[in-house]
Amino acid sequence: MTPEAGWIEGKHERDALVFNAGGAWSMRELARLVREVRAALPSRAALGGRTRARIDLNRLSFLDSSGAWLVADTKRRLEAMGVATEVVVGRPADRALYDRVEKSLARIGVLKSPARPHPLLAALGNVGKTVIDGGKKGGELLSFFGLSLVLIVRAMSMPWRIHFKAVFKHLETTGLNALPIVGLLNFLIGVVVAFIGAVQLKKFGAEIYTVDLVGVAVLRELGVLITAILIAGRSGSAFTAQIGTMKVNQEIDAMQTIGLNPIEVLVLPRILAMMIALPLLTFYADMMGIAGGAVMCMLALDISLTSFVRTLHEAVELKTFLVGFLKAPFCAYIIALVGCFEGLQVSGSAESVGTRTTMSVVEAVFLVIVFDAFVAITLSILEV
């Protein structure tokens, strides 16, 4: 059964406009009906001084709320032209629907188009908003840093209050489970550094310095940096998503009502676990990077393992290793802090969890690199 398609026809009677509507006025054909009805509306000039109109719905076979909206909209347009419009509805069910729709539209009132500022102004406004938001966030992160320090000191004085079970769980997920990927990537980095060194230094006949290059680059910078960036992407994001989802589920509220401090329960174990795991991972990464370098030296430069180790021993001091290694706990603090901070900033929706997770990774990587550059510059000024 296909219902008769909706139609409208306009007639200009002597003193009034008459619109006869028939068929099914429904959402299904609304797009076409809107065009036809708007085409049937007379221009102001064609009105010819008529001040009354009648929309006759007697021949409708079906009317739904969008059809009723179209009738009401037409009436509104006619009245805006100064034509008093009367709607004649045939069937009582349609009457009830039409009245209801008209009442709802009256309640909502005339919709104002949202004001759009000039695009240049909007861009300027966005810049300003970003700067202010960035500043605000910096302040909040700083105060969260302070809060975490206070709680760490307190936890140290009452070590039995530390949630060791959680610490170990996070040690496993952020540390142990990251071993394969951290190892593989750093091995490859070692290979790449050795390869670049080999190609470039061969020009000067100084390929033996490839060993120095690998040793210094991996131990001092790359080992810790690559590992920190990897862990920020791997675990920092997980912290944000975990805490954020708990926030959405109101688990954090529940904790507070039970008397658990969410920072103590959720944030501290993560920070502690990260500060233990990242230095260990960094040491492991250093070793893997050097192993990668050694393999490359053997294959491409015919430097045997024993001579590699001997040269490395001369080239690298303990200081070189320590400069890299001691950066790890600070990077760990940054990653865990940012991850937890962004997790706690999640508000209400699934989308917010996504945005905050992205932000967490971006900020953590950014801060880790800024911190690393800061250390490098400071050390070079101090000539260490």
Question: Exposure string (b/e) for 12-22, b if CB count within 10 Å is 16 or more?
Answer: eeeebbebbbb
Question: Residue 27 interacts with other proteins (CB under 8 A)?
Answer: yes
- Least Å distance between CB 69 and other proteins? 5
Strands across the sheet containing 84-88: 7-12, 16-25, 52-63, 84-88
Return the range that interacts with other proteins (CB under 8 A); candidates 191-199, 284-292, 298-306, 341-349: 341-349
Question: Residue 109 interacts with other proteins (CB under 8 A)?
Answer: yes
The token pair that represents 272 in the structure block: 């502690």
Question: Residue 30 interacts with other proteins (CB under 8 A)?
Answer: yes
Q: Which is nearer to other proteins, 12 or 91 (CB)?
A: 91
Full DSSP string of 110-172 = PPPPPP---HHHHHHHHHHHHHHHHHHHHHHHHHHHHHHHHHHHHHHHSGGGS-HHHHHHHII
- DSSP secondary-structure letter at 89? -
- Least Å distance between CB 93 and other proteins? 6
CB count within 10 Å of CB 336 equals 30
Return the range that interacts with other proteins (CB under 8 A); candidates 103-111, 130-138, 170-178, 256-264: 103-111
Q: Strand 16-25 to strand 52-63: parallel, antiparallel, or no bridges (unpaired)?
A: parallel
The token pair that represents 175 in the structure block: 């540390």
Give which of 160, 165, 171, 116 is closest to 281, Cα–Cα. 171
34, with CB counted inside 10 A (0-12, 13-18, 19+), is middle
Question: Residue 80 interacts with other proteins (CB under 8 A)?
Answer: no
Question: Residue 101 interacts with other proteins (CB under 8 A)?
Answer: yes
Question: Residue 31 interacts with other proteins (CB under 8 A)?
Answer: yes
Question: Residue 104 interacts with other proteins (CB under 8 A)?
Answer: yes
Looking at 58, 351, 358, 377, which residue binds other proteins (CB under 8 A)? 351
Question: Residue 359 interacts with other proteins (CB under 8 A)?
Answer: no
Tell me the CB-side half-sphere exposure of residue 260, using CA atoms within 13 A: 16
The token pair that represents 152 in the structure block: 């760490």
Q: Which is nearer to other proteins, 67 or 292 (CB)?
A: 67
Question: Residue 97 interacts with other proteins (CB under 8 A)?
Answer: yes
Return the range that interacts with other proteins (CB under 8 A); candidates 132-140, 274-282, 298-306, 350-358: 350-358
According to DSSP, the residues that pair with 16 across neighbouring strands are 52
Q: Strand 84-88 to strand 16-25: parallel, antiparallel, or no bridges (unpaired)?
A: unpaired
Question: Residue 96 interacts with other proteins (CB under 8 A)?
Answer: yes
- The residue whose two tokens read 């940012």 is 338
Q: Which is nearer to other proteins, 101 or 225 (CB)?
A: 101
Question: Residue 136 interacts with other proteins (CB under 8 A)?
Answer: no
- With CB under 8 A, what is the number of residues at the site for other proteins? 30
- Least Å distance between CB 362 and other proteins? 19
Question: Residue 309 interacts with other proteins (CB under 8 A)?
Answer: no
Looking at 39, 45, 80, 108, which residue binds other proteins (CB under 8 A)? 108
Looking at 16, 40, 105, 201, which residue binds other proteins (CB under 8 A)? 105
Full DSSP string of 181-214 = HHHHHHHHHHHHHHHHHHHHHHTTT-GGGHHHHH
Question: Residue 40 interacts with other proteins (CB under 8 A)?
Answer: no
Residues that bind other proteins in the complex, under the rule CB under 8 A: 26-28, 30-31, 34, 64-66, 69, 73, 93, 96-97, 100-101, 103-105, 107-109, 111, 114, 347-352
